[in-house]
Amino acid sequence: MKVLGIITDKEKRHILCAMLGGVSLAFSFFWPSGLPPFPLDPAWVAIALCGLPILKGAVVGLATAFDIKADLLVGMALVAAVYIGEIFAAGEVAFIMSLGSLLEERTVRKAREGIEKLVNLTPRTARVLHAGIEEIIPAEEVRTGDTLRVLPGETIAVDGVITAGRTAVDQSLMTGESLPVDKDVEDEVFSGTVNQLGAFEMRAVKVGENSSLQRMIRLVESADASKTPVVRIMDRWATWIVVAAFATAIGTWIYTGEIIRAVTILVVFCPCALVLATPTAIMAGIGNATHFGVLISSGDALERLAKVTRVAFDKTGTLTHGKPEVVAARTFIPGWSAAQLLELAAGAEQRSEHPLGRAIIAYARKEGIALQDPQEFSTIPGRGVSALAGGRRVYAGTRQLMRENGLEPSAEIDAAAEQYRESGGTVVYFGVDGAIAGLIALSDTLRADAAETVSRLHAQGVLTTLLTGDNAQAAAAIGKAAGINQVRAELLPEDKVNIIRKEMRETGLGKVCMVGDGINDAPALKASYVGLAMGGVGSDIAVDAADAVLVRDDIKRLPQLIMLARKTAVTIKVNISLSMLLNIITVVLAALGLMGPVVGALAHNAGALFIVLNSARLLGWKYPCENKKAETAAWPAATVQS
């Protein structure tokens, strides 16, 4: 997502025209009467630069598609004011309308780079085996049933099933799981995921456009196309505004015989303040959000945030830190301490590249345990490691690894391991000299402010859901700790999209804000009513797919953001009401002959200034609960579904 501070060439032209138009109007209005007048009223510059594009757009729209917009009324007022010689009034109307369009354009600009980055992740080649001979071919030429070989560190080209070998695969692209998943023969693997350890062979099942990665790209594209921007309010009412203005002006002219009254009505009927009502409030709201670390891509996104009724969280990297940490170490050899187990375990894992092994080493160092390199070390793909550490033979890994090396877990050990798994942890068994010495449990830990964030959302009347590709036990544990209403686990990217669309289309709680950080969250971010990405740990693709970004991954800002969006929506309604009231008053005064074109234009200037000042109040708005803990409303217990 590009930040709003980046200016396009089109905006540069609009800014230059607005600046020159404003300067010309200042010269026209404030030029001292004692000095020689200009050969031509400077206000013509504003008419030429700001007014002619509006007039051209109105005529083209009317002629080609009979599209009646507020620009048509502005064009009529410009022509009428010039006709009777009120050049300043014409220039002022053109300038205000151009300024409003510029502000609105800046609020709806959004970069669309996420799809390109997803396409760049698509593997270019694949190793195909024909009669035992390896051949590297373009990935799009792989056919269903082909046998592929995937080496450590390579990206899997298509969806398929492992036919030979064991490994661990980084599936974070597809499921968001924080840990690599061990894979064995007959296990499924997905395109775009990365082989971490051993080489393996696989049979291609879904290739080309049917692969998981290509389906995810299409999901992002279709979800992006389905979002319709909010139509500007004056364009929604343009037909009635034009008809009312024209009828009132003609009626006044016929009744009074004074064309200047009719022209004044056209001038004051121009929705100058109404043009500024929405974009100024949105710009101020976006500016306020920037101060507390949230970047919002468009004004439409801020307007939608005000209507959110449910927040759907991803788990890994969003509610949690996204990396495994040691949460428990337990020994089963009499006289052994947890520190002794940890010292032996960290020594055995010294040369391991597996995230669990690195987490154990980091924890040992944090505890001040001195580490020694193992005398021997070997990786057993999909199982764990074997090492000679401190003169002892150590096996570290799965339960299967223990059994394959003659180490049968007792009922006590299995019960302890199951207890850690039920809490959402991953268990590493450690066998030493022919016996299972102990277990180390690791888990992706909950962010410190996650529970408070959920509590504040509930206090604002917003429901919460957890959508994750992780296993049901881990999801349930995190959901319970955070206080989430509903938990949905073991989901692929398309499952998240389907759930969000179902919530949006088939229930009364359809205004879903999706909060995520990974590439796998991009389709859901696009499909949701509002997408919010974690900017610090989040992938670039998730950030590009989102409507807003938490720059510092500070999820406690989410309730503040929703409240700011609601405050902005209220400000917009007040602005619109006041601008319409101003229109009614000035039209009546113009019809009674109590206001001329120049005074009418100035009145609109004053009204526009008031709208801007009212919107600017949002810049100083502060979250009322910023230093208070929100009260926790009573909500049903979390339910888990796979």
222 within some domain: no
User: Hey, what are 204's tokens?
Assistant: 């291609």
Q: Tell me the residue ranges of DSSP E strands in 451-579.
A: 463-467, 486-488, 512-516, 530-534, 548-550
Q: How much is the average pLDDT of 304-318?
A: 87
Alpha helices in 109-154 (DSSP H): 114-121
H or E element at residue 147: strand 147-150
For residue 6, what pLDDT band results from cuts at 50, 70 and 90? very low
CA 347 – CA 435 distance, rounded (Å): 18
- What's the CATH number where 432 sits? 3.40.1110.10
Residue with tokens 């990665």: 213
Residue 567 has pLDDT above 90, yes or no: yes
User: 439 with 377, same domain?
Assistant: yes
pLDDT, greater one: 259 or 65? 259
pTM of this structure: 0.62
CB atoms within 10 A of CB 589: 18
231 within some domain: no
88 within some domain: yes
% of the chain surpassing 90 pLDDT: 11
Residue 319 has pLDDT above 70, yes or no: yes
Domain boundary, last residue among 445, 478, 509: 445
User: 551 with 459, same domain?
Assistant: yes
Contact 161, 188 (CB under 8 A): yes
User: Hey, what are 69's tokens?
Assistant: 């917009």
Residue 463 has pLDDT above 60, yes or no: yes
Alpha helices in 185-336 (DSSP H): 212-225, 233-236, 238-256, 259-269, 272-291, 299-305
The pLDDT, as a whole number, for residue 571 is 92
16 within some domain: yes
Q: Which of 293, 310, 292, 281 is nearest to 623 (CA)?
A: 292
User: 15 with 75, same domain?
Assistant: yes
For residue 271, what pLDDT band results from cuts at 50, 70 and 90? low
CB atoms within 10 A of CB 366: 10
Residue 380 has pLDDT above 90, yes or no: no
The type of residue at 51 is: G
Characterize 228-242 residue by residue with b for buried, 16 or more Cβ atoms within 10 angstroms of its Cβ, and e for exposed. eeeebbbeeebeebb
DSSP class of 641: E
End-to-end CA distance of the chain: 32
Give the tens place of pLDDT for each residue, 202-261.
999 988 877 766 765 654 554 444 443 444 555 566 567 667 777 888 888 888 888 888
Contact 140, 210 (CB under 8 A): no
User: 453 with 440, same domain?
Assistant: no
pLDDT, greater one: 212 or 98? 98
User: 586 with 570, same domain?
Assistant: yes
User: 361 with 401, same domain?
Assistant: yes
The pLDDT, as a whole number, for residue 638 is 41
CB atoms within 10 A of CB 404: 13
The pLDDT, as a whole number, for residue 439 is 93
Residue 51 has pLDDT above 60, yes or no: yes
Give the tens place of pLDDT for each residue, 598-617.
777 677 667 777 887 888 88
User: 336 with 414, same domain?
Assistant: yes
Q: How much is the average pLDDT of 565-582?
A: 88
2 within some domain: no
Give the tens place of pLDDT for each residue, 331-365.
988 888 888 888 888 888 888 878 788 889 888 88
The pLDDT, as a whole number, for residue 71 is 67
CB atoms within 10 A of CB 57: 17
Contact 46, 24 (CB under 8 A): yes
- What's the CATH number where 155 sits? 2.70.150.10
Show the domain range for 266.
9-109+237-291+563-620
Dihedral class, residue 528 (left if φ above 0, else alpha if ψ from -120 to 50, else beta): beta
Domain boundary, last residue among 215, 250, 279: 215
4 within some domain: no
CA 47 – CA 81 distance, rounded (Å): 11
Highest mean pLDDT among 37-41, 157-161, 535-539, 617-621: 157-161
pLDDT, greater one: 314 or 390? 314
**Residues facing 466 on adjacent strands:** 313, 487
User: 139 with 52, same domain?
Assistant: no
DSSP class of 52: H
The pLDDT, as a whole number, for residue 517 is 79
Domain count of the chain? 4
The pLDDT, as a whole number, for residue 2 is 38
Residue 321 has pLDDT above 50, yes or no: yes
Catalytic residues: 314
User: 326 with 316, same domain?
Assistant: no
User: 345 with 381, same domain?
Assistant: yes
Residue with tokens 């609109």: 604
Residue 633 has pLDDT above 60, yes or no: no
Helices (H) and strands (E) in the chain, counts: 24, 23
- What's the CATH number where 316 sits? 3.40.50.1000
229 within some domain: no
For residue 41, what pLDDT band results from cuts at 50, 70 and 90? confident
pLDDT, greater one: 129 or 323? 129
225 within some domain: no
- Strands in 194-195's sheet, in edge-to-edge order, are 181-183, 167-170, 194-195
What is Dmax (Cα atoms) for the chain?
A: 110
How is 253-268 classified by DSSP, letter by letter? Answer: HHHH--HHHHHHHHHH
User: 176 with 273, same domain?
Assistant: no
Contact 263, 577 (CB under 8 A): no
Contact 78, 94 (CB under 8 A): yes
- CB-facing half-sphere around the CA of 154: CA atoms within 13 A: 21
Q: What is the overall mean pLDDT for the chain?
A: 78
User: 26 with 162, same domain?
Assistant: no
User: Hey, what are 554's tokens?
Assistant: 């500070």
Residue 382 has pLDDT above 50, yes or no: yes
pLDDT, greater one: 240 or 486? 486
Domain boundary, last residue among 445, 462, 484: 445
Q: Which of 110, 412, 440 is nearest to 286 (CA)?
A: 110
pLDDT, greater one: 480 or 63? 480
For residue 507, what pLDDT band results from cuts at 50, 70 and 90? low
Pairing assessment for the beta strands 310-313 and 463-467 based on DSSP bridges: parallel
CA 586 – CA 77 distance, rounded (Å): 15
